[in-house]
Structure formats: structure tokens, C-alpha cells
Structure 1
């Protein structure tokens, strides 16, 4: 790990063409949707004339990591796990502020399968992994769970049952049969793995858990016969049952729970049906028809139904579509706004949109994308065209269209992710962290 000196990164050195005012035209981009949203920017446009001010942001710290390695950032830790499936991984945990190495490990009891939980600041990994061949493909699953303290790398506890979901204080584990199906549930304490409750359930291939406080969290499962059931997180008591659509081996199932609604997403290519139920009672509320493989996302005043290329803004109370926009990558912002990501490959731009109407509020400068920080600020990231290659960072205001260059750091913009008030970028086996607060 070392501090990287950037030298002179003033605009004339890395802008190979005149800087021009941001375009006022509204355009939308196409991008593949991902768990965590990434943003990239290809070129930089500044309003007004004359030379920009010298950059004011430089990289805070960096570290050499393995090629084809992607860091996972949660809380105040950057976790890096390298290796290939079936091999013992090299694991390193860094303090996101200082870059100090908190711990490293080469542990044959920790598989490549790590599931960090930001609330408990623990890592959950199966110590025993099984792979089975099923008619529709291979399935890999864990038979037990090992809990690791993310700050020290110390094992806290290990017990049978595959980790399914977690809160700051509790972990839901599932017993799996020889085909990977869940047959029983156990809620345990995150601190020591002590059992809180145990329940046998009807065999299911999948189940989902709502987010939010433990006292209001719900578990929804679908049995092999198509029966839906809702269980209370706190004690495992069944709140409701109803017969849903009978599973079909040719159908894909993507269940989700958002707030007080459960979404049964069934794909029979090329068509998809989203059925909305009340989570607690399993009362059917509405049905929505679409094409392609979709997932649902909480977008504030609307429900976003996304596929790879499109986002539909749907009324969560009725299932009526209010608007459709050509981008599948959406990040909810404050004040009822949405950030739509662009794509360098498709030469499309990022934009900020009103969630209720789908109206464009502002489009990022030509050839750029935007990334949102936790505090709501928007930044535009670009790439220099000559060596040494760096990521340019600009503040961007979608209402006025103004962008202001504030710095440049090593790396490629298409590898950068935002976390808190920091940008984490990787390139050629190198990790760099920049504080833009």
C-alpha cells in the first residue's frame, strides 16, 4: 500500500479538446442493472469560458490487489477477496478512511463465498459447500455458516444451516436437503449463534425476507406445490397462507419483498407477470404484465420494474404504469428524484428524472455519466485519453447543468463505485480510495 503522487493534473494536461458548455438536451441511456449502482463518465464539459481552477481533490490512499478482483465496501471497511472458485482465497480488510490493513488471511475454512453484513459488521461464509447437478443446471449451496468479525478476521461462531438473511443482532439460517432446497429455518443471535427459534417449513427452492426493523420483518416462502406462506421474523409464527401459481420447471421465479408488499415475479420467456400481494395477509392487490426478465425496485413514489434496457414507473397501489424510460440502471435520490445511469458503450448519458412524472430534470454533459453520494451530491467521472490514465472528477448540478472539475486520480472510471463520501476505483490490480467530502 502506498500514497500515489499525481503531480500536475490541471485541465490543459488531460483535456485534448476544447471544453464546451453542457448540452441542455435531455437524453437517456441504456445500461445493465446491478445490486450496487456504478457510474462512469467519458468526457468532461464545463460551463463558461477560460481555464478551470486547479484540482482540489487527490487520492487518499491506494493498495495493490489481485487482477480480476473486485473490492466490496461496507461500513468503514474495504474487503478484498482474491482467488478462483475451488481454491483457498486470500482475504484482506482495509480501513476505508486510512487504508490501514486491519487483517489478512489465507484460510482454507473460508470459501470464496463471503456474505458481508453491514449492520452487524460480520462476514458469513459456509465452511462446507455442496454442488449438485439438477435438470436445469448446477446448484451450489452451503450446509453451514461461519460468522467472522469483519474488523479482526476472528471467527465468532460456526453452526449448521446456510445463512439466508441478517440484521444487526440476528441471523436467519436455513437447512438444505441434498438438492439445495430449504426444509427448515433457524433464527440465531448474531453475537454468538445462540438459537432464538427453530421452524420446519414446507420444502421450498427460494424464500425472501423484507428489510427494515426486526419487529416488522417478514419471511415469504413458496412451496413446491405453489403454496405461499408469510412468517413473522421475530418468532417464526405463520401469519398467512394462500395457494399461488404452481411452479413450473420451465418458469423463472424472482420473488421480492418491498415494504408491506410481496411481489411474485414469474417469467415464462418472453413474458413476465408481476403479482403484488399484501405481505402480512397475502391478499392479491394487482397484476402487471411485461416482457423480458424483470425485477422490482423501490423508487420512492413509484415502483420501478426494470429489465436490462428499460425502466417502468408503476403505481405501487394499482400496478398501473405511469411512464417508461430507456435505461435499466436506476438510483433513487432525495426529493422524489431518480438518477438514471448512462453507458459508455452505447454513448448514452446519465440523467436525473422526476419519479412521479418521468420528466427529465437534467442530463449530464455529453458522453458522461453521474454517481450519487450518500448525502445527495452528484459527481461526474471521466477518463483521460493519454497516459498516465486517470479518472477526472467533477461536481455536477442537474438543475443548472453546471459541472466543475475538482480533481483527477489514477484508474478507470468504469471501475469506480461510490461509498459514503468516497470514490473507490480499481484498475490493473490496483485499488484507490478518494475522499470527495
Structure 2
């Protein structure tokens, strides 16, 4: 598929005075020979890869698992939400032994609504509500959300608290921000509560039709931004809910139309509006503490999006992006694919992955665009700052029931082939640390990697 190139226009609005400082495998003999051959093919194909001296993937345990079941991993546990066998149930398994530590009924929780884990607390949405909006062209926009939120201790399965008319928007180490729903499902109130006991720290009403975004400093929420359809933007302190600045910005009219939209995102020190039409798009940056306009960049293709990329801002389009200076908007470098942050502490190094039949992640210096090491092969399925590596899963063209597993070093960019695993055509893998859980046909298989 041929992708349209993004043509960025001139940067405008540069401030005067210049820039500021800123269970187990089946081991038949023939099968071992096939897997060894496939592993050799992978070793040749993986540029810059190092062969391990011994197999580094060990199957720990497995359980039945269907396509509608949901799994997440946290705090040494594999949390499985089962919807395919009897009443919906949540079970916590020890990630290493597979022993079920606790389980609890899910009640009316909807399978398509995700859960969220933070600080040893599982936040689950329940009492599914559906809002349908007529788009005026014979089709409907359907939005599903939870009407309640339940907090569960991940260590014991005990319910800590439950609150109505809210969903989790984001969470810090000790708090979670809830947004109550009003008429037609629009956010109507904001409430910050303690994650462990649900105690309220502050609450305030929201203007009708307001949209919300949250600015993070590393992993900690620091500001909440509300914006109304007529352009009134207000920045609140996350810890106390006190407004720090409010200003009406010339944003696009908010219509329920995929071809004409406006939305906000944040980066350190910045609030960015991404505005798109059927043929063009633009990203405009403002200081988040004063809402002063800094710069604007336009493109001749739709769906341009501004996102944090460590010391730069990435303007992301369809399988390509440009890294620009956060103060001036001037281009520093450009890349192909999609940039991802949060894998390496400090975000000085980012991972850029091209979209296509085969993913090729590259460790990259965020400030310069210089690649570090060689491209890996496969999709990122596990990452962690404590381990210093990501796990890549690459389905093999030679055998569609197999996938190569590699360890991708997040300091050197070097890939090490670990071996292969069974993987169905629609399977997914999720991992944390050295534990990798993958759906294979009708089972969830948990592996330990070296």
C-alpha cells in the first residue's frame, strides 16, 4: 500500500528573541529438527542478532482461554477475566506457578470494557451504558462506557471500594481521576480520589460538552486540561483541582464528523491542538502554563497528531513523522514509522516501529534521530525499565503456527534470538519482566524467557 507523504508547511508564530533553554512444549524428534531449522533461519534474518548458547524460553503453565476472555499482568499475577465458560469471573494466577490465588464474580461488567491496574489496585468498570449519536448520514456513532468503577486489591481479591457514575480517566501512584457522566454520556464532573480507599480529594463540575486530557510528568499526572466546543480551555492542577489558567482559543467547531475534528494532547510544557479536515491537518502548540501560542505546523494530509517524544515533539502522520523543537516548531529530524516513548527511563531514547507486514523496531536517539544498534524484527509484547529490554514477537513466514521471540536491548539496540513459540493466527502476547503470556488457539500459555 502506498502511503501519502506528509508535506509540512512553514512554521509560524515563533516567539521573539529566539528559542528558550529548554504446561510445556511437545518435544518430538522431528519437531525439534523443524524448530532448530526455523531458529537458524531467524538468526540469519535478524540483523545484528546474537545466538544464545542454550534455549531461553521455558513454558511454565497454561489454562483454557477463548477469544472473548481478557488477560492482564501485574504485581507477579496474571489476571484473567473469563466470559466464555459460565458466569463472568475474574481469577488471579501466580505468574510463575499458575496457582489460582483468588477469584471473584464479575457481575455485569462488559467484556469490551478494559480494566486498569495501578499501585496494587485493579480498577474495573461495570454497569455498561451505551450512547448512540445520529451522524446525520444514515449511520450511528455508538459509545460504550462503564457506569460504575470498582477497586479490587490485586494481592487478595478483596473489594476496596465502589463508586457510581464514573470511569477512570487516568491515575497516579496513589490517586485516580474519575469523570462522572451527564446528559448523553458527556463528562459532567471531575473527582480525584485515593486509589486504596476511594476517599475524595477534590471535585468540581465540568462545562457542558467538555473534553478532557491529562498531562504527565514521566508517569505522574500533573495537570488536567478541559476544553469546550466553543474553544474555552482551562488548565487545572491535578493534585488540588484549582484552575491555573483559562483562555478561549480559536479551535475548530466540535462536530461529530470524522473528517472535521479537533482534539488536544500534551507534552512537557505544551498543550497541542491537532485539527484535521478531509484533506489537511495542523498542529498548534501553546504554553500549557499561560496558553500563549508558540507555533503551528500544517500538512497536506489528514490526521496529523502531536505527541511527546522526550526532548522533542513528534508530529505523527500515516507511518511517518517529523521531530520538531518544542519551543519553535522547527524540524530537527524526520523518520518513517511510529515513535513510542516510555520504554527507556528519561525518554532520551525512543523506539520507532514501521507499520507493515513485518515490524522493524529501531532504538533511536530522540534528540537527533540517530539509530542505536540494528533494527529488530517483531512486535513489542513486553517491556520494562527494570529489565532493560523489550520482547519482540515475529510470526514466521515459513510456519504460520510459529513465532520467533527476541530480546531487544533498550540500551544498545541489539537483538538476541531466544527461540520460537506456538502461536495461532489471531493470537496476542503480553508480558512483563521475564514472563510472557500468549494466546495459542484455545489456551493461554505462560512462558519464562531468559
CA distance in structure 2 between the partners assigned to 1:214 and 1:57 by the alignment: 31
Selected match of 1:353 from 364, 375, 394? 364
1:78 — aligned with what?
78
CA 1:254–1:224: 2 relative to 1, 3 Å: closer
**CA contact 2:73–2:431 (8 Å) conserved in 1:** no
Q: Does 1:253 align with 2:262?
A: yes
CA distance in structure 2 between the partners assigned to 1:55 and 1:395 by the alignment: 13
CA 1:118–1:96: 2 relative to 1, 3 Å: farther
Q: Does 1:282 align with 2:295?
A: no
CA distance in structure 1 between the partners assigned to 2:141 and 2:400 by the alignment: 44
Q: What is the deviation of 1:207?
A: 0.2
TM-score normalised to the size of structure 2?
A: 0.77
Q: Does 1:271 align with 2:307?
A: no
Deviating more after overlay: 127-136 vs 253-262: 127-136
CA distance in structure 2 between the partners assigned to 1:315 and 1:88 by the alignment: 53
Q: What is the deviation of 1:315?
A: 1.7
1:338 — aligned with what?
350
SS at match of 1:179: helix
Deviating more after overlay: 221-230 vs 289-298: 289-298
How many pairs align?
410
Q: 1:71-220 maps to which residues of 2 (within 5 A)? A: 71-83=71-83, 89-112=88-111, 113-127=113-127, 129-135=129-135, 137-163=141-167, 164-212=169-217, 217-220=222-225
1:230 — aligned with what?
235
**CA contact 1:349–1:363 (8 Å) conserved in 2:** no
SS at match of 2:334: strand
Q: What is the deviation of 1:358?
A: 2.2
1:364 — aligned with what?
375
2:448 — aligned with what?
435
2:439 — aligned with what?
426
2:5 — aligned with what?
none
The CA deviation string for residues 110-144 of structure 1, in whole angstroms up to 9 with x for no partner, is 33323313235222313352433343622333333
CA distance in structure 1 between the partners assigned to 2:72 and 2:439 by the alignment: 11
2:13 — aligned with what?
none
**CA contact 2:315–2:322 (8 Å) conserved in 1:** yes
Q: What is the deviation of 1:176?
A: 1.7
CA distance in structure 2 between the partners assigned to 1:145 and 1:316 by the alignment: 37
TM-score normalised to the size of structure 1?
A: 0.79
Deviating more after overlay: 267-276 vs 292-301: 292-301
CA 1:98–1:295: 2 relative to 1, 3 Å: farther
Name stretches of at least 5 consecutive residues in structure 2 with no aligned partner. Answer: 1-22
**CA contact 1:264–1:275 (8 Å) conserved in 2:** yes
Name stretches of at least 5 consecutive residues in structure 1 with no aligned partner. Answer: 23-42
Q: What is the deviation of 1:3?
A: 4.3
SS at match of 2:185: coil
1:315 — aligned with what?
325
Selected match of 1:407 from 396, 419, 423? 419
Higher relative CO (Cα under 8 Å, sequence separation at least 6) belongs to: 1
Q: What is the deviation of 1:218?
A: 1.0
Q: What is the deviation of 1:229?
A: 0.3
